[in-house]
Each structure stands twice: as structure tokens, then as C-alpha cells.
Amino acid sequence: MTPSQDMQGSEPLLSVRGVCVTFGGIVALNGVSFDLRRGHILGLIGPNGAGKTTLFNCLSRLYQPSQGDILLEGKSILKQPPHRIPDIGIGRTFQNVALFHNLSVLDNIRVGAHSRTTSDAMSDMLKLPWARREERALDKRARDIADYLDLLEVAERPVAGLPFGTQKRVELGRALAAEPKILLLDEPAGGLNHEEVHALGDLIRKIRDQRGITVLLVEHHMGLVMSIADHVVALNFGKKLAEGPPAAVQSDPDVIKAYLGSKDA
């Protein structure tokens, strides 16, 4: 039994309600609503410019919706300052990999745990006992995550020189270090080859199953979405086109039209 099955019927973990975002004249999101169930992998699809990244940026409080609300476990996140978002359990990766390039793989993962640690500047400078203790525990946790994602060999290397696929795993590890309830993945398959995409699908499923993390997956790669998503939401021009099980959305005439009309590069 997957976690998704025994959670049926409970309130959604995340609820997006009528969210609108405009940039000058451009309406990037126009009243988008959907629910994300605990333990699900939700695939968010749509052609370029549909508003997927904009929605992610609302969820991580980088953009402020002009209308609508976003509820996590029933509570609005729009009153939280951006730096509190990981505390309440939302973690993310970025479409074009946003790592700390001069820091090592382990340090990137350690920064990921920033919201789960408490040491202050004074204790850090004086290396007081509790700061030391926290640092030791953090070191172990970062190494465990590096091990989980097969990054131990490059653990001490600065991320700048690593291959793109490896950098994507580092970013994933950094997000995992914050122990999120929801993981937002923005086009994780972008720039990966066929085998890597396959491994990524397994990894995302493994993260959901083993760590109980709910996933919101933005992806262009239809094969990946269709093989791992429990539920799919399709966007176009900032509006929801369709929603439902993967197969149903894939065969929806509006979705097919949107994809034929704009994409396929």
C-alpha cells in the first residue's frame, strides 16, 4: 500500500485557491486552483510560459499573488516571510540549478539544513559546546544525504566544476536536508539524458516512498510525468486546462491542442 492510498479522504496537504499573478500587462497566473494530497506526486505540466515556475515562486514566497490564497495544512502561507517557508515544510529546486557555486557539495547540503539548525553568530565564532554539537550532528546528516544520493565521492569538491546531472542531485540533496513536507521540483529532467531521466524517476519515487515527502513536479518530459505522477494538472496561459489521472489528462483534447500549438522543440 502506498502512502497515497491510506491518506485518501484526509484534507489536502497543499491547497492552491484562485491564485492570480500579473507582471505589468502579462497575466502569468489567472485564477489557478488545485489540491495536492499528502503522499502524492502531482505532475504540473504545460507549454513554456504557461506559468508553472511563477506558481512555484508563489509557493516559495518569491512572488506575491495579487489574488487568491495558498494553504498548507489549512493555513495560509501568504502571511509568512520568505525565509520561514522551509520552516513550515516547503522545499524546492530551481529550473536552472541555483547552487552555491564556490561551496562544496557537503556545504551546499549543510546550508539546506539552515532552517533545521539554530546556532547563532556568537556561538559560532566562539565554537561554544552547543554549536559544536549541532555542527557534528549536521555533518553526519549531510554525509547521510550525500550517501543516499550517491554524492560521497565528490563530497568535498566545490560544485562549480561538477557535471550537470551531479549538480541536480546536489540541489535535490540540499532540498532534502531541510526535511520538507512538500518538495517542489522545477523541471528536474531538463538537460539530462535518457538513462538519467529514468534514474531520476526512480529516485523521486524512492524519496516519496522512503521519506514520506509529497512532491509537486513541474516537467516537460511527458514520459517522466506519466510514469510517476499520481495526479496531473495542466496549465496554459496561466489557466488550468485540465486535471485528473495522468492518462486522462494526456488524452484531453485541450491539452493535446495546447502542446501541438506551442511546444515540441
Partner 1 sequence: MSTIQETVAPAAAARVTIRRSVSTIAQIVVLLLLLATPLFVKNFVIFQLTMWLVYAIAIMALNLLTGGSGQFSLGQSAFYALGAYTSAILMEHADVNYVLTLPASALVCFVAGVLFGLPALRLSGVYLALATFALATAMPQLLKLGVFESWTGGVQGLVVTKPDAPFHLPISQDMWLYYFTLLVTLLIYAASVNLLNSRTGRAMMAIRDNEIAASALGVNLPLYKTLAFGISAAFTGIAGALGAIVVQFVAPDGYTIQLAIAIFLGMVVGGVGWLPGSLAGSAFIVFVPNVAENISKGLSGAVFGALLIVVIFVVPHGARQVALYGEALAKKFLKNN
Ligand X SMILES: Nc1ncnc2c1ncn2[C@@H]1O[C@H](COP(=O)(O)OP(=O)(O)O)[C@@H](O)[C@H]1O
Q: Which residues bind ligand X (CB under 6 A)?
A: 23, 26, 28, 46, 48-54
Phi, psi of 43 (to 5 degrees): -95, 125
Query: Closer CB to partner 1, residue 121 or residue 265?
Result: 121
Give me the residues paired with residue 30 across strands.
20
- 250 touches 231 (CB < 8 A): no
Query: Closer CB to partner 1, residue 101 or residue 257?
Result: 101
Q: How far apart, in whole angstroms, are the C-alpha atoms of residue 125 and residue 83?
A: 23
Minimum separation from the CB atom of position 200 to Mg ion (A): 17
From the CA atom positions of the chain, what is the Rg in Å? 19
* Torsion sign, CA atoms 250, 169, 83, 160: negative
Helix H or strand E encompassing 260: helix 253-262
Query: Site mask, partner 1, residues 61-90, x = CB under 8 A?
Result: -x------------------xxxxxxx---
Query: Closer CB to partner 1, residue 95 or residue 227?
Result: 95
Q: Grid coordinates 512555484 are at which residue?
A: 56
Pairing label, strands 67-72, 239-244: unpaired
Nearest to 259 by CA among 49, 29, 47: 47
Query: Site mask, Mg ion, residues 50-79, x = CB under 5 A?
Result: ---x--------------------------
Find which of Mg ion, ligand X, partner 1, none residue 85 binds, CB within 5 to 8 Å per kind: partner 1
Minimum separation from the CB atom of position 120 to Mg ion (A): 36
Query: Closer CB to partner 1, residue 135 or residue 252?
Result: 135
Q: State the alpha helices, DSSP H only, in the chain.
A: 3-6, 52-59, 105-112, 121-126, 129-148, 164-177, 194-211, 222-228, 246-250, 253-262
Minimum separation from the CB atom of position 176 to partner 1 (A): 12
Q: Is 114 in the site for partner 1 (CB under 8 A)?
A: yes
Give the other-Cβ count within 10 Å of 89's Cβ.
Answer: 20
Find which of Mg ion, ligand X, partner 1, none residue 102 binds, CB within 5 to 8 Å per kind: partner 1
Find which of Mg ion, ligand X, partner 1, none residue 89 binds, CB within 5 to 8 Å per kind: none
Minimum separation from the CB atom of position 256 to ligand X (A): 18
- 242 touches 252 (CB < 8 A): yes
Minimum separation from the CB atom of position 151 to partner 1 (A): 16
Nearest to 191 by CA among 101, 100, 95, 123: 95
Question: Interface with partner 1 by CB under 8 A: which residues?
Answer: 60, 62, 81-87, 92, 94, 98-103, 107, 110-112, 114-115, 117, 119-121, 124-127, 131, 134-135, 138, 174, 178
